[in-house]
Amino acid sequence: MLYVANIGDTRCVLSKGGTAERLSVDHRCDNADEIVRIKSQGGFVSGDRVGGVLAVTRSFGDHSLKKAGVSAIPYVLKYSLKPFDKFLIIASDGVWDELSD
């Protein structure tokens, strides 16, 4: 069993028989669901940043933006590993801004 929990811009990608499958959710300001969540909590997104400041919508720190909707609640996934699952890549936006899954 594999458990994936992520916050922010760290992404988890599994190689399933040579095909990449994303197992996490990017908590960035280009994620429509996250924008809706931020706005429902009284925050706003400006210039692809929460409150015009932070590029991610979920974070452990950034306490000053908690009232703007920034959350530390992770996305969690439980996945049953299969024989054809070969490897897992975990990297932050520095990698994923340059490479696809």
What is the per-residue pLDDT across 2-18, written as a single tens digit (0 to 9) for each? 999 999 999 999 999 99
pLDDT digits (tens, 9 = 90+) for 44-79: 999 999 999 999 999 998 889 999 999 999 999 999
| Structural domain contains residue 47 | yes
| Structural domain contains residue 86 | yes
Quote the domain boundaries for residue 61: 2-96
Structural domains counted in the chain? 1
Residue 61, pLDDT score: 86
Distance CA(86)–CA(51), nearest Å, equals 40
| CATH assignment at residue 58 | 3.60.40.10
Residue 62, pLDDT score: 84
Residue 27, pLDDT score: 95
Residue 96, pLDDT score: 93
> In angstroms, what CA-CA distances link 12 with 40, 62, 91?
27, 23, 7
| Structural domain contains residue 101 | no
Interstrand relation of 45-46 and 49-50 (parallel, antiparallel or unpaired): antiparallel
H or E segment and range at residue 19: strand 19-22
